Chains A and B, each alone.
Chain A
Amino acid sequence: MKVRVLSQWPPGHVRTPGYLRGKVGTIERSVGTFNNPEQNAYRLTPTKNRLLRVRFRMSEVWGPRAENPDDVVEAEIYEHWLEPFNAS
């Protein structure tokens, strides 16, 4: 399943890597549910959020500058940072 990482830059603590925001990847697998670090960081009672391993092609991450466009990078990203992506 293809997803796009939200391209949002809120103030405060988030774990979603900046270089992947707005990028399209494929869900590789679900890792489980974990305390939401965005609440945990401020000692708020955290909700349990689903964490997903998402695979991105280097060409997607770095564009034409990618040295090895077919290599991939995988990152674990919370579900609330992902939206479904349908290529049209």
Chain B
Amino acid sequence: MGGDPAGKIDHEQHDFALWEKRVDALLVISSSAGLMNTDSLRRVLEDMGEETYENMSYYERWISSICQNMIEVGAFSTLELATKMELIKSRGATYGDAS
């Protein structure tokens, strides 16, 4: 990565989890609504830094960037996001397992 050794590339395909498909859909919806775009997605992704790149999965980084974009543009507030996250969390750890 960036000219540095980064180990072998994993070429295995994997099925996407339901939540990952939803994250993908969220980007399409919020982009078509004019709330964000590919470049604003990438801006936040790249501002996250190398540590985040190592520690978060692809769609974890995407949803973080989408949330940041939605807060910037005023689609929802930080508090509204926190309240919603608590609500979803209360549905239990297996809520997002369906695919």
Contacts and interface: CB of A to CB of B under 8 A. Distances in A.
A19 B40 contact: no
A40 interface: yes
A43 B37 CA distance: 8
Interface in B1-49: 2-3, 36-40, 42-43, 46-47
Contacts of B75: none
Contact of A41 (B2, B3, B40, B73): B40
Nearest to A37: B39
B43 A19 contact: no
B39 A19 contact: no
Interface string A19-53: 10000000000000001011011110000000000
A13 interface: yes
Interface of B: 2-3, 36-40, 42-43, 46-47, 72-73
The 10 A-B pairs with the shortest beta carbon distances in the complex, nearest first, are A41-B43, A41-B39, A40-B39, A13-B43, A37-B39, A41-B40, A40-B37, A43-B40, A19-B3, A13-B39
